Amino acid sequence: MNKITELVEIYNRNHARNEDWKLSDFKNRTKPFEEMIEDAVWGREPRLNRDRHQFRVPKKSLEGMVDILKNPKIIEEIKRCKTFDEIFTVVYESRINNFGPLAVYDTSLRLGAYFGHYPTVVYLHQGALEGAIQLLGKDLIEKASKYFCGDSEYPYIFADILPEPLNKLQPYHIENFLCINKNKLNM
Q: Where are the beta strands (DSSP E) in the chain?
A: 122-123, 146-147, 155-157
45 with 7, same domain: the answer is: no
> In whole angstroms, what is the distance from residue 108 CA to residue 119 CA?
9
3-state SS, residue 37: helix
pLDDT at 45: 83
pLDDT at 75: 98
Q: Establish if 158 belongs to a structural domain.
A: yes
Domain boundary among 70, 96, 115: 115
pLDDT at 55: 67
Q: Establish if 24 belongs to a structural domain.
A: no
pLDDT at 9: 96
Per-residue pLDDT of the chain (187 residues; tens, 9 = 90+): 599 999 999 999 999 999 999 999 999 998 999 999 999 999 988 876 766 666 688 999 999 999 999 999 999 999 999 999 999 999 999 999 999 999 999 999 999 999 999 999 999 988 999 999 999 999 999 999 999 999 999 999 999 999 999 999 999 999 999 999 999 987 6
pLDDT at 56: 80
- The residue range of the domain holding 49 is 31-115
Domain boundary among 85, 115, 145: 115
Q: Establish if 26 belongs to a structural domain.
A: no
Contact of 132 with 175, CB cutoff 8 Å: no
Q: Establish if 165 belongs to a structural domain.
A: yes
pLDDT at 136: 95
pTM equals 0.93
User: Is the preceding omega at residue 165 within 30 degrees of 0, hence cis?
Assistant: yes
Contact of 101 with 53, CB cutoff 8 Å: no
- Count of structural domains, the chain: 2
Contacts of 130 (CB under 8 A, 6+ apart): 178, 179, 182
Q: How many other C-beta atoms lie within 10 A of the C-beta of residue 96?
A: 13
Q: Establish if 12 belongs to a structural domain.
A: yes
With 0-12 / 13-18 / 19 or more C-beta atoms within 10 angstroms meaning exposed / middle / buried, residue 104 is buried
pLDDT at 133: 96
Q: Establish if 187 belongs to a structural domain.
A: no
